[in-house]
Amino acid sequence: MSTSPSDSPSPNAIATYDVHVQTSDLASNIASNAESDPFPRVLATSRLIAFMEIAAARLLQPCLKPNQLSVGTRVNISHSAPTPVGSKVIAEAKFIGKEKKIFLFEVTARDESGEIGRGTHERAIVDVARLEEAAKKRSGLD
């Protein structure tokens, strides 16, 4: 017996993403020229958001049909504390509802010392081939 994808996660469903901060996750590594664009040696906000996105995407896995993925459409995140390399980060996403085709999540992240970020995130389910075709058209590679 095969199961078909569900329309949305269960209300208040939660998924997490656990990761240890690597050197490549540091803000100091996001600029191509560290001398002209210096950043600190702590977890980059962009990586924190990526961890939160992964947690939310995990909640949508059961909703996907073949050849579909979920993509982020909006983030509103507060990054409230620095996290050094080697620290364990746990990003958590909670499904809070759906508005038309957009899935809504509350997201938080913490390290061993406590909360490091929180906010909201929105995702949509898309057909991979259609998304890639739209990207080609935008870039003129069509």
Report domain extents, the chain: 14-139
pLDDT of residue 4: 62
Q: Determine the residue type at 103.
A: F
Using the predicted structure, report yes or no on whether residue 3 has a pLDDT greater than 80.
no
When pLDDT is averaged across residues 68-91 and rounded to a whole number, the result is 98
Core vs surface per residue 92-126: b (16+ CB within 10 A) or e = bbbbeeeeeeebbbbbbbbbeeeebbbbebbbbbb
CA-CA distance, 102 to 68, in Å (whole number)?
15
- When pLDDT is averaged across residues 122-137 and rounded to a whole number, the result is 95
In this predicted structure, the answer to whether residue 62 has a pLDDT above a threshold of 80 is yes
pLDDT band at 142 (very low <50, low <70, confident <90, very high): low
- Nearest in space to 104 (alpha carbons), one of 60, 50, 66, 64: 60
For the domain spanning 14-139, the CATH number is 3.10.129.10
Q: If you average pLDDT over every residue of the chain, what do you get? A: 94
- Judge whether residue 34 has pLDDT over 90: no
Task: Check whether 133 has a pLDDT greater than 90.
Answer: yes
Question: CA 32 to CA 22: how far, in whole Å?
Answer: 17
**Contact (CB, 8 A) for 126 and 133:** no
* Per-residue pLDDT band at 66 (split at 50, 70, 90): very high
What pTM does this model have? Answer: 0.92
Reduced to 3 states (helix: H, G, I; strand: E, B; else coil), residue 47 is helix
**What's the CA angle centered on 108, arms 41 and 7, to 5 degrees?**
130
Tally DSSP H helices, then E strands, for the chain.
2, 5
Higher pLDDT, 32 or 38: 38
Residues 117 and 64 sit within 8 Å (Cβ to Cβ): no
pLDDT at residue 96, rounded to an integer:
98
Query: In the predicted model, is pLDDT for residue 136 greater than 50?
Result: yes
